[in-house]
Amino acid sequence: MSKKGVFRQIYVTVVATLTIFISGMWLGWPSSVVEKAMKHEIDINVTMDELSWIVAMMDLGNMISPLFAGYLMDKLAGVKIRGALSSTFCIQLHFGFLLEAVVGPLVKYRTLNTMSAVFPVVFTVLAFWIPESPYYLLKKNRRVEAARCLQWYRCEQDDVKLTDELRQMEVNVEREMENQSTFREVFTSPKDRKALGIVVAACITQRAGGISCILAFFSLILPEPAPVFPRFQYMIVFATTIVVITITCATLVDKVGRKPLLIISEVGLGIISAGFTVYFYMGTSLRFVIFPYALFLLFSVMYSVGVGFIPVVYLGEMFSVNIRSHCSSIASIALASSSFATNKIFLFVSRTYGNHAMFFLFTVVNFAGALYSYKYAIETKGKTLLEIQQILEEKVKKAPLNTR
């Protein structure tokens, strides 16, 4: 492959992952906007209930779009790069959030929105020059166009090599078309139901365990005056910690294993949430103002250790190719639904019963997630798809009839 071909593939990769970066910015947007709204620094006056809807409604689209995006995944993601894309997804997501956390508190509301709008526009302009996937074109029986696009991606002058690669792609397309599946097949297979249960439980724990509300409402959770440095700088440290720890643990996951990291993370978050519960129940005090800030930063560490990225890793390992997109859609809906629910009720519950009530809920969710992971999650480290499928089959055979 020529250097020009390598450059073009890097270009496509950067442009494609820019959408994930934008999603991270979307996640970080409320972290500074909520505080600006409370201080009447935005263009409209909103009530607390309206503010909760503004934050929660961001997840509503995520509850619908996965149903369609799942089909697109089969067209865009190759088998050999799915593992790499899993890590890239989490890292780019957190970098996008970090940008909003750093810039948001320093600029005005309109400036923040303008900056946030620039990146989707840049993506649209850059993506306009990207040819269609040859794989997708072959699925549509447009072979001539597929050959032309493949040549663009490879910049290969050897027609024999291009023809051989195109033929191999056609074989893969034919094989996949023969093995197409539906959502119904995901639920009719006991081993796939068990795998889906593991992934969905991890996804629910990830979002309903407190991270969504902490990111969106940290300015209402952490008391002022903040110790050592301004409160918004703690969010910058929080976001930076998530990026650094996620990158570190992504390199350790194949040595330590998925299940241990997931359980350690969920138990740690349960303990931290319990600490928040006790702090708010006993009543905030300036003498202990460092306590919630320490818990806040520890939350970012324990979240990044496992539950923040293990669900994505599991998703790429536990399902065969023909049903992976459907399972990804279901997992995405579980993430969005959990985030929507907790973000919507946070302000109401906190103002009616106190912050300790919400953090007690987070405590229960995290410990329940840890118990479920301990009992049902499997270790996929160093195992092939076939070996993972065999482990799931054995789990199903050993399970009581009423739990299958």
Average pLDDT on 196-224 reads: 92
224 and 85 in a single domain? The answer is yes
Count CB neighbours of 287 within 10 A.
7
Q: Are residues 221 and 359 in the same domain?
A: yes
DSSP 325-362: HHHHHHHHHHHHHHHHHHHHHHHHHHHHH-HHHHHHHH
pLDDT for 269: 97
Residues 395 and 321 in one domain: yes
- Confidence label for 267 from pLDDT (cuts 50, 70 and 90): very high
Please name the amino acid found at residue 245: I
Report pLDDT for 69: 59
Q: How far apart are CA 390 and CA 377, in angstroms?
A: 14
Q: Tell me, what's the pLDDT at 157?
A: 67
Per-residue pLDDT tens digits for 294-345:
999 999 999 999 898 889 888 878 887 677 778 888 888 999 999 999 999 9
Backbone angles phi, psi at 148, to 5 degrees: -65, -45
Q: What is the pLDDT of residue 111?
A: 93
- Where does a domain end: 158, 178, 198? 178
Q: Are 297 and 150 part of one and the same domain?
A: no
Q: What is the pLDDT, as a whole number, of residue 274?
A: 96
The residue assigned the tokens 């997992």 is 331
Regarding whether 281 and 381 lie in a shared domain, the answer is yes
Q: How far is CA 364 from the centre of its chain?
A: 22
243 and 164 in a single domain? The answer is no
Among 146, 161, 178, the domain boundary falls at 178
- Top pLDDT among 226 and 136 is at 226
* Tally of CB atoms within 10 A around 228: 8
Look at residue 24 and tell me whether its pLDDT is greater than 90.
no
pLDDT of residue 314: 87
Q: How many domains does the chain have?
A: 2
Residue ranges making up the domain that contains 90:
3-130+181-403
Residues 237 and 260 in one domain: yes
> So what's the pLDDT on residue 337?
93
pLDDT tens digits, 213-264: 999 899 889 988 888 888 889 999 999 999 888 888 877 777 888 899 999 9
In terms of residues, how long is the chain? 404
- pTM for this structure? 0.82
- What is the predicted pLDDT for the residue at 227? 87
Instruction: Using the predicted structure, report yes or no on whether residue 76 has a pLDDT greater than 90.
Output: no
Q: Which of 27, 23, 31, 28 minimizes the C-alpha distance to 89?
A: 23
Whether residue 200 has pLDDT greater than 90: yes
4 Ramachandran zone, left/alpha/beta (phi>0; psi -120 to 50): alpha
Last residue of a domain, one of 178, 210, 241: 178
CATH number of domain containing 355 = 1.20.1250.20
Q: Could you tell me what percent of the chain has a pLDDT over 90?
A: 31
- Would you say 38 and 95 are in contact if contact means Cβ atoms under 8 Å apart? no
115, amino acid identity: M
Contact 90, 308 (CB under 8 A): yes
Angle at Cα 78 formed by Cα 6 and Cα 121, nearest 5°? 65
The alpha carbon dihedral of 393, 395, 398, 404 has a sign of negative
Q: What share of the chain is helix, strand, coil (3-state, %, to 5)?
A: 80, 0, 20
Same structural domain, 397 and 370:
yes
For the record, the structure tokens of 174 come out as: 């034919």
Least confident of 74-88, 153-167, 303-317: 74-88
Q: Which residue has the higher pLDDT, 303 or 164?
A: 303
